[in-house]
Amino acid sequence: MIESATNIYKALAKAQAEFAPVVKNRKANYGMYADLGAIIDVVRPALNRNGIFLYQKVTSQEDGVVVETILGHESGETLSSGPLFMPVGEVRGSKAQAFGSARTYACRYSLSAFLGICADDDDDGASAGNPEPKPHAKVSTDLLQGAEDAVAEGPKAYEAYFRGLSAEARLSLINTGYHTRFKNQLGI
């Protein structure tokens, strides 16, 4: 323990013991999650009762936002989550909306991780860096297994496999999001 942070560590331990379960109030492709407001509603009262205030420093970069969650104690001690970079995704609306979305995600992820809050259903890393397959689209088990086997052999094998498929099979992989996922996984 850092001697100069004794007070904030004690207060944070007490606050965490008071955290109520976070209500997962939003639905995503992978399951349910708690939005930023739901997380703040659970943690802020307990933090404040224990002399801790919460703020998040947000800075923008050309391709994303950086969020740092900071806890300050009434004693003057502080703790920082460190910076978390969130890239701005595909811009469908305005660029401002894309940056706002990235900011919200970064604030939610930073706060949840820093305070030990479980705010999402666990997808066991399935979507880390890859798009979530669309649940309404279908792909056959054999097609998916063949694609996964080709991915295991590398980028050239997957490209050859994909080119050798019928137009219908290629479209199935594209519409489900698996094609993009495999390309991202292979770096192509």
Is position 172 within any domain? yes
pTM beyond cutoff 0.85: no
Q: What pLDDT, on the 0 to 100 scale, is given for residue 97? A: 85
Is position 124 within any domain? no
81-89 contact pairs (CB < 8 A, 24+):
81/110, 81/111, 81/113, 81/114, 84/109, 84/110, 84/113, 85/61, 87/63, 88/63, 88/64
Residue ranges making up the domain that contains 147: 141-186
Residues 69 and 148 in one domain: no
Residues 55 and 104 in one domain: yes
Residues 25 and 100 in one domain: yes
Please give the tally of structural domains in the chain. Answer: 2
Beta bridge partners of 109: none
Q: What pLDDT, on the 0 to 100 scale, is given for residue 83? A: 94
Q: What pLDDT, on the 0 to 100 scale, is given for residue 30? A: 67
Spans of the chain below 50 pLDDT: 1-2, 121-128, 131-136
Residues 6+ apart with CB under 8 A from 13: none
Q: What pLDDT, on the 0 to 100 scale, is given for residue 135? A: 46
* Residue 119 DSSP code: -
Residues 26 and 109 in one domain: yes
Q: What pLDDT, on the 0 to 100 scale, is given for residue 139? A: 67
Where does a domain end: 115, 133, 164?
115
Q: What pLDDT, on the 0 to 100 scale, is given for residue 145? A: 86
Residues 92 and 172 in one domain: no
Residues 100 and 11 in one domain: yes
Q: What pLDDT, on the 0 to 100 scale, is given for residue 136? A: 44
Residues 23 and 97 in one domain: yes
Residues 111 and 31 in one domain: yes
Show the beta-strand stretches assigned E in the chain: 26-28, 31-33, 52-61, 64-73, 78-87
Euclidean distance between CA atoms 105 and 111, whole angstroms: 10
